[in-house]
Structure 1
Amino acid sequence: MATTPSSANPSLNPNSNPQNPAASPPKPRLIRLPSKTKSPQPPPWAEKKLVVSVDYDKGQRRVAAEVAGVGKDQIPAKYRIRVEGSRWQRDWKVSEVVERILRLKHWEDVESMLNCWAGRFARRNFPLLIREITNTGSLEHAVHVFRWMKNQKNYCARNDMYNMMIRLHARHNRIDQARGLFFEMQKWRCKPDAETYNSLIHAHARASQWRWAMNIMEDMLRAAIPPSRTTYNNLINACGSAGNWKKALEICKNMTENGVGPDLVTHNIVLSAFKNGAQYSKALSYFELMKEEKISPDIFTLNIVIHCLVKLRQFGKAVDVFNSMKEKRSECRPDVVTYTSILHAYSVCGQIENCKAVFDMMLAEGLKPNIVTYNALLGAYASHAMHVEALSIFKLLKQSGLQPDVVSYTSLLNAYGRSAKPEKAREIFDMMKRNSRKPNRVSYNALIDAYGSAGMLTEAVEVLREMERDGIQPDIVSISTLLAACGRCDQIVKIDGILSAAKSRGIQLNTVGYNSAIGSYMSVGEYDKALRLYRSMRESNVKPDSVTFNVLISGYCKAGKYSESLKFLDEMMDLQIPLSKEVYSSLICSYSKQGQLTEAESIFNCMRESGCYPDVVTYTAMIHAYSLTENWKRAWDLFQDMEGNGIQPDPIAFSSLMEVLNRACQPEKVLQLAELMREKHIPLNSSAAYEIISSCSMLRDWKTASQVIEHMEPSLSSISVGILNQLLHFLGKTGKIEIMMKLFFKILASCSNVSRATYSVLLKNLLAAGKWRKYIEVLQWMEDAGIQPSMYMYRNVLSYAWKDNSTEYVVLIQEKMSTLRENIR
């Protein structure tokens, strides 16, 4: 008995709601399937038999399934005499003939080898030969053998042979040739049967040619051949693989009405149709109906369900399905596809550690990852700029015996590009070409982005030209990437040139393209051009999104045009575009800059009420708003609220709160925040370090200050000159002259730009500590560095040299001062 959904089944109606009991359909009727009849046993010469051979010299044991076929003793008498009288004729088994054919390197040898086979005179050997050679999957060998076979006098066309050849052509996506065989067999007066039509429909299903499959189904009905469940499954698969899920449901409904009950394969094909048509919610509703009808899913079903859950970003439910499959009593154990889907889910939600854990779990289960699995892990590392880990997986891929494809190379290239290593990205791109992997449009766009992100706009444009020379036309992604690079490089002329190039190539800007261009104009201060482009966007009927308005609002806010920035909020509301977290943050920033704290708080509360929960950027913007009004208590409470809601503060949030606390003379709380950063392993940025050191200065906590300075030493090259000067001044003011000089040496070693202001801070503190001889030495360092000390610097130290009766230093200083006077004249 098979339980099947009826024609009124809600799974077949995309508008049905399985959650509504009032709309639930009548109970599906039961369809009795015909009982299976036992197929007749094949004759002994057609059976596959296991043959075991042992090579004792090499210590090898070989087990193979062989088909004997009709031997020389069983062929017609007239041919037997001819065979026995020739020494060139061989009494090979059918399996042996196939092995010899597959070993041939020249196509012209096929016929000569087959002409030496005594079994060719037995017509019953031909179907066996075609069956065995098509099972190997070698299309060219099968085509040559079939052509030779049709030229034999004792050949007789048979449906099963044509069906096998049609299926083989379908496996190789040779649809036209499969269709040609269908017409050829009819010329041989070989009437197609149900298996023939099924094979041909399956061939078109693989090629997503659902209209052709429908026409073949109509021919089948006109030939009075009743379609089977396999026929309907192939037809539904043809529609589903093309993304036509509505037609697939219609055929499934007709299938039920015609008394052919769907099986699990049918349900899986319908689920796959929903998946290919991006109807993920409908696929999940259909799956719920399957569970209500007590239809047990298989691994294919659950893999589709996990895929749909991931697409709907329901990651928790996807992991729950995965964990249920791993239970001991589960009938569907996870396979490579399952692990790959879960790995991709963790990658999308940013849990990279879990990606590697799933990969290692798959290896522990004894499953061998395929190229898709490796590419998914490579893509996860690439999206987070983890080029070291990506390279490790790339090497592991090659060590496992797999060949990297274009996706593998592109993912590794992207990892280097996002890690600000464009030269390494170029090396991977060139390696891809050397290894005969032709880069696609995604590969070129990734290389353009690698150069653009590093500010190498000239090289990015050259990649675009190289892309066109290789016959690949740029798309809107290429143009958007270049436009974003222009904004980072402050190239106003280039922005105009790229927009003109896009227009000349017929590339129409979409929402993302307009956003990139508007953002680039904003970043270089061309606000009028950005506004004109936005108006052009509206005139071209390209609908802006929340990113568009966030770029406009934040851009005008940074330019100090706060009232203009708030006007875009009205347009956004008129277009009924929901506010994103980024837009809320920009609005809070705009209101706070104007001193409108009440409005900023109103926006923040409105954000919570709308269900758009604030993130760390929004909280930081609100903390900064309280900082401008020096309301440290509200800022402190908001920070506590952020932690209570499970949102991890970042270094910017900490430094913003520290700034308002220092202004309010709350250094103890600043150090409390510093301890919290250490516990949470949050990196210390330069702003936070400066605020901590300022608090230590108020509390005269030199130990903590020294620890902070020591922590900052590895990143001295990335710290601004102003903060470095503040650090030196703090150490000098507290009397830590030796520590100050050590920090100065480390600043020099880190290749940081040491300006006259830095030397002035150093000299002032040395003189205050009475280290006038070191003072003179530093003056010499200034000259060696190409920075000329001023007359005032020499005059300050001259009195100290006179007091110590150091005549030689007095003479040296006076000579330097005389030289300076002459240069001034």
Structure 2
Amino acid sequence: MAAVHHQCTFLAPPPKPRSPSKAPSVIHCSNSKTLDPFEEKKQAHVDYDAGTHQLSTRISGIQKSDLPKRHRLRVEGDRYQRDWTISEVVERIIKLNHWEDVEGVLNRWAGRFARKNFPVLIKEITQLGYIEHSNQVFNWLKNQKNYRARNDIYNMLIRLHARHSRIDQARGLYFEMQKWRCKPDVETYNALIHAHGRAGQWRWGLNIMEDMLRAAVAPSRSTYNNLINACGSSGNWREALKICKQMTDNGVGPDLVTHNIILSAYKTGLQYSKALSYFELMKGTKIRPDTTTLNIVIHCLVKVGNYDEAIKVFYSMREKRSECRPDIVTYTSIMHMYSICGQVENCHAVFNTMVSEGEKPNIVSYNALLGAYASLGMSEPALAIFNEMKQKGIRPDVVSYTTLLNAFGRSQQPQKAREIFDMMRRNNCKPNLVSYNALIDAYGSNGLLAEAVELLREMEQVGLRPNVVSITSLLAACGRCSQKVKVDSILKAAKLRGIELNTFAYNSAIGSYMNVGEYDKALALYRSMTKKKARPDSVTFTILINGCCKMSKYSEALEFLAEMRNLKIPLTREVYSSSICAYSKQGRLAEAESLFDMMKMDGLHPDVIAYTTLLHAYNTAENWDKAFTLFREMELNGIQPDSIACAALMRACNRGSQPDKVLHLAKFMSDRQIPFIDAVLFEMVSACTILRDWKTLTQVIQMMEASLLRISVGTLNHLLHSFGKAGKIDTMMKLFLKIVASGAEVSATTYEVLLKNLLASGHWKKYIEVMQWMEDAGIPPTIQIYNNIYSYAQKSAGAENAAIIKRRIESLKRKSDQHTLKMDSTSSPPLTTNAFIVSTTAAEANG
């Protein structure tokens, strides 16, 4: 055996370099010539100054010295003929543009006289992917006298055309090779089936398989794998399984590639549960899964919501790194899972782990991380990730821009979302339909309906046709903006554009009608929905039942509940809660309790809304005992009561003459730091009044003083009436003055509460003064108020006081009439209650 010698060529620096620091010191290392001219030889190029090295493969081929004697006379001398190696010829050809003279280079090559050089030449060019150069070289070969058609050349060219999705040309080569009397072999059929599989033309792949069988060419495992992949990549998983069965019946057993293709076919066909079942069967074979297998399994587990199992598979891959090392697809799938769950910290932790493990993040990984922040509306961290991606040299794509745009839309910054949209166009990244839909949703979800509609027109101007997602976003925006006219217009626009509404669009439209109180239109749309292909789902009935309850149409809500059951649509927590409310409002407590128990039997653990709804039902039925028991059950089940639930229980206790329990519940709320809302304060005032616990009521007032502006007029009136009814007139008046000084709303009802209690306690002078306050505040006393004071003067004041009362009331009436005439003539605004009362408060404070 001939020894292999290493030859080193040293390139010394120029004799007189201008800059010695820039003089290159380069070493080329290559193997010496071996006996086989087509053997691949490694050649290293090391530049010590630049600190770079490059390893290349060279093929010499048959050169001038190796040619037969009959060809040597034709290539004597180097003036017109060049003794290039095959690698040198390839380098010269690929430097040319495909329209330049490729034949001129080849005609100067001495190696053209050796027919054995041709397939190697074609192989080198096709492996580099230069399709136009390959075609020109192939045409030149066919014009050579010593050319002979070969299967391997055609197979290489068919595969090259398949790589560039030129299916017709690949098929043309298949027919051409038969004209040149080249009988297609198994590699030819494999290449052709693979070509059609890449293009999604699986039926053509089946036809080629039939041609192969008719030609008595036995299919190999690669043939079946290519055909299964052609069907699976098009989502036709049933046909893929048929071919797999046919493969087994013909005695060709599936390998790991086959199993991965079947799993991928299930994944593409959205048959995630079937893919997981197939993986369990695969475990029983001797074939061990690889990283691709487990990546598909993780993807399917995430899709079916089995996140814990997906994490287990991921950790098992990390433990067995030598067998199934996690790659960038694995990490990205786990990041996507955490993004769906809203666990953005875990998503970022997986991203950091991927980087620390040596995997270089790509655009898909960054988009997954970006999407995790965007789904929660965390626009600032999303923008930081976006900028980091650009700093790493990764150019954002349309998905990156759209995700960032969506982040600003969810964080209620539609103008920022528009800025990202404009930046995308400035950076030559053309917005697609998803980008426009995301911006429409950003405008619509923030109440900018006019801008959203204008964006729809802009989309059509740039040649993008709106789809059902665009219409759904606009319909949802109409509901938020309470624009019932716009709902009709958008539905009409969708019909004119031929956009078929799906279930989501119908749900948005029905919800918008319900939000604006258009029950009849919502019902008509629902009935038309049942006639179309769009099938109502649990969201549809949730919207209908909730809407009916809000409009006090409880009978209609229960009719929809019955219809939902007839259609065998699973009931949701929202439907259960609304239906319980409907039963309770109709006084059907037994049905409400039965539905609550049914909810627990269906595996839907009641949430705080469901418990609160049943508490209200017990409240309506004045059954405080059951309400208290239910409240304890909610606490035992780990459901944190909210302010509304506590208010409902307090009301039930007050109605059941259990005011002491109301105060105990208030202490419970204080310990748990549950906010005291207006309804809770109302019930606490009622409980203190019933118990005549003025000390606690004073503490309630101190609690309310810091937020009088946020307390409703009803609660304040109730508090004033409690003091007045107890005969604490001074306390009532001081509280009233504090309310007015704080700027809280004071209505005519508030004055009526004061006047009623003042007259009941005999404070007729203060009564007349409060009437004056009403006049100055622009609230004229009613006739009943005057009649009440006249009646008191005649029955209870005595003759002397009655005359005084009469004179003051007549004087007040005259001032009122003059004030009214002056108002009519000057149209000047009356004195505000606040201005008058503040001055009165100051006068009283002084004496």
Interval containing the TM-score (normalised by the shorter chain) = 0.7 to 0.9
1:661–1:667 CA contact under 8 A, matched in 2:
no
Match of 1:67 in 2: 59
| In structure 2, distance between residues paired with 1:315 and 1:621 | 32
Residue 209 in 1 paired to residue 201 in 2?
A: yes
> Scaled by the length of structure 1, what TM-score is found?
0.77
- Structure 1 residues 171-182: aligned runs within 5 Å: 171-182=163-174
| CA-to-aligned-CA distance 1:774-815 (integer Å, 9 cap, x gap) | xxxxx9xxxxxx99743784376368559969xxxxxxxxxx
Distance 1:795 1:254 in 2: 95
Question: How big is the shift at 1:526?
Answer: 0.9
In the TM superposition, what are the counterparts of 1:785-800 in structure 2 within 5 Å? 789-790=831-832, 793-794=835-836, 797=839, 800=842
**298 and 689 in structure 1: CA distance in 2 versus 1, 3 angstrom threshold:** farther
Q: Which among 246, 259, 268 is matched to residue 251 of structure 2?
A: 259
Q: What is the match of residue 783 of structure 1?
A: none
| 3-state SS, counterpart of residue 45 of structure 1 | coil
Q: How does 1:259-338 map to 2 (within 5 A)?
A: 259-328=251-320, 331-338=323-330
Residue 576 (structure 2) aligns with: 584
**Matches of 1:127 and 1:725, distance apart in 2:** 97
CA distance in 2, matches of 1:377, 1:632: 51
CA change 1:84–1:327 in 2 (3 A) is same
Q: In the TM superposition, what whole-angstrom CA distance separates every residue of 1:142-177 from its partner, at most 9, and x where no partner exists?
A: 334334444444433322122112112212222122
Residues 608 and 227 of structure 1: CA distance in aligned 2, closer, same or farther (over 3 Å): same
Provide the residue aligned with 1:427 in structure 2: 419
After TM superposition, the structure 1 = structure 2 runs for residues 28-107 of structure 1, keeping only pairs within 5 Å, are 44-77=36-69, 80-87=72-79, 89-104=81-96, 107=99
CA contact (8 A) 1:686 1:723 kept: no
Per the alignment, residue 499 of structure 1 pairs with 491
Q: Structure 1 residues 788, 631: CA separation in 2 closer, same or farther (over 3 Å shift)?
A: farther
- Percent identical pairs in the alignment equals 60
Q: Distance between the aligned counterparts of 1:735 and 1:66, measured in 2?
A: 104
8 A contact 2:151–2:188 mirrored in 1: yes
Q: Contact 1:670–1:692 at 8 Å: present in 2 too? A: no
Alpha-carbon distance change, 116 to 527 in structure 1, aligned in 2, over 3 angstroms: same
Displacement of 1:447: 1.3
Distance in 2 separating the partners of 1:267 and 1:203: 21
Distance in 1 (CA, whole Å) between partners of 2:472 and 2:733 is 54
Q: Does structure 1 conserve the Cα–Cα contact (< 8 Å) formed by 2:678 and 2:711?
A: no
- The 5 Å alignment of 1:403-422 reads 403-422=395-414
CA deviation profile, 1:337-370 (whole Å, cap 9, x unmatched): 1122222222223333322222222222221222
Which of 245, 248, 259 is 2:237 aligned to?
A: 245
Amino acid at match of 1:184: E
Which residue does 1:134 correspond to in 2? 126
> Which region of structure 1 is more displaced relative to structure 2, 196-205 or 123-132?
123-132
Whether contact under 8 Å (1:658, 1:688) holds in the other structure is no
TM-score by length of 2: 0.76
Could you tell me how far apart the structure 1 residues matched to 2:345 and 2:443 are?
28
1:489 has 2:481 as partner: yes
1:338-487 correspondence runs (5 A) = 338-487=330-479
Inter-partner Cα distance in structure 2 for 1:368 and 1:651: 50
Q: Does residue 164 of the first structure (1) align with residue 160 of the second (2)? A: no
Q: Secondary structure at the match of 2:672?
A: helix
Name the CA distance, whole Å, in 2 between partners of 1:142 and 1:648: 72
1:648-727 equivalent positions in 2, closer than 5 A: 664=659, 666-677=662-673
TM-superposed CA distance for 1:217, in Å, is: 0.8
Match of 2:37, SS? helix
Structure 2 gaps, min length 5: 1-33, 721-730, 755-775, 777-827
CA distance in 2 between partners of 1:661 and 1:75 (Å): 110
Judge which range, 396-405 or 441-450, deviates more: 396-405
Residues 309 and 318 in structure 1, CA contact (< 8 A), matched pair in contact too: yes
For 1:594 and 1:73, locate their aligned partners in 2 and report how far apart those are by CA, in whole Å.
106
* Residue aligning to 2:5: none
Q: Distance in 2 between matches of 1:84 and 1:288?
A: 69
Letter matched to residue 676 of structure 1: R
Q: CA deviation at 1:55?
A: 2.6
User: Does 1:221 find its partner at 2:195?
Assistant: no
Judge conservation of contact 1:159–1:191 (CA < 8 Å) in 2.
Answer: yes
Tell whether 2:507 aligns with 1:515: yes
SS at 1:442's partner residue?
Answer: helix
Cross-structure match for 1:548: 540
Moved more, 60-69 or 235-244: 60-69
Name the CA distance, whole Å, in 2 between partners of 1:164 and 1:549. 59
CA distance in 1, matches of 2:715, 2:79: 97
Q: Residue 66 of structure 1: CA displacement? A: 2.2
Moved more, 102-111 or 288-297: 102-111
CA-atom RMSD in angstroms: 4.2
Matched AA of 1:297: P
Report SS of the residue matched to 2:57: strand
Q: Distance in 2 between matches of 1:468 and 1:453?
A: 21
Compute the displacement of 1:88 (Å): 5.5
**Cα shift at 1:567:** 1.7
Bigger CA radius of gyration: 2
Q: Over residues 357-386 of structure 1, what are the superposed CA-to-partner deviations in whole Å (9 max), with x where a residue is unaligned? A: 222222222212222222222223222222
Q: 1:573 to 1:792 in 2, by over 3 A?
A: closer
> How far 1:723 sits from its partner (Å)?
12
Cα 1:513/1:82, change in 2 over 3 Å: same
Equivalent-residue separation in structure 1 for 2:181 and 2:572 (angstroms): 68
Gaps of 5+ in 1: 1-41, 679-683, 748-753, 765-778, 780-785, 806-825
Return closer, same or farther for 1:58/1:241 CA change in 2, 3 Å cut-off: closer
Residue aligning to 2:599:
607
What is the CA–CA distance in structure 2 between the aligned matches of 1:368 and 1:723, rounded to whole Å?
63
Q: Is this contact kept in 2: 1:461–1:482, CA < 8 A? A: yes
What do the CA deviations read for 1:268-297 (whole angstroms, capped 9, x no partner)? 112222222222222222211111223211
Where 2:61 maps in the other structure, the secondary structure is coil
Inter-CA distance 78–701: structure 2 relative to 1 (3 Å threshold): farther
CA contact (8 A) 1:483 1:520 kept: yes
What is the CA–CA distance in structure 2 between the aligned matches of 1:105 and 1:722, rounded to whole Å? 84
Alignment of 1:560-579 (within 5 A): 560-579=552-571
Moved more, 531-540 or 656-665: 656-665
AA at the equivalent of 1:335? D
Number of aligned residue pairs: 721
Structure 1 counterpart SS, 2:45: strand
* Equivalent in the alignment of 1:529: 521
Give, in whole Å, the separation in 2 of the partners of 1:644 and 1:235.
59
Given the superposition, is the C-alpha separation of residues 803 and 585 from structure 1 closer, same or farther in structure 2, using an over 3 Å criterion? Answer: closer
Q: Counterpart of 2:326 in structure 1: which amino acid?
A: P
Secondary structure at 1:44 match in 2: coil
1:671 and 1:692 in contact (8 A); partners too: no
Equivalent position SS for 1:50: strand
Identify which range, 323-332 or 212-221, moves more after superposition.
323-332
For residues 232-256 of structure 1, what are the alpha-carbon distances to aligned partners after superposition, in whole Å with 9 as ceiling and x for unaligned? 1111111111122222111111111
Question: Residues 100-144 of structure 1, C-alpha deviation per residue, up to 9 Å, x if partnerless?
Answer: 444445731544444444433433222222222222233344334
Aligned with 1:65: secondary structure? Answer: strand
For 1:382-427, what per-residue CA distance to the aligned partner results, in whole angstroms no more than 9, with x for missing partners?
2222222222222232233322222222211111112221111112
Most deviating of 602-611 and 151-160: 151-160
Indicate the residue corresponding to 1:16 in structure 2: none
Specify whether residues 423 and 582 from structure 1 end up closer, same or farther in structure 2 by C-alpha distance, changes over 3 A only. Answer: same
Aligned equivalents of 1:354 and 1:123: distance in 2? 61
Q: Does 1:235 align with 2:227?
A: yes
1:9 aligns to what? none
**Equivalent residue number for residue 809 of structure 1:** none
Aligned equivalents of 2:697, 2:93: Cα separation in 1: 87
Instruction: State the SS of the aligned residue for 1:332.
Output: coil
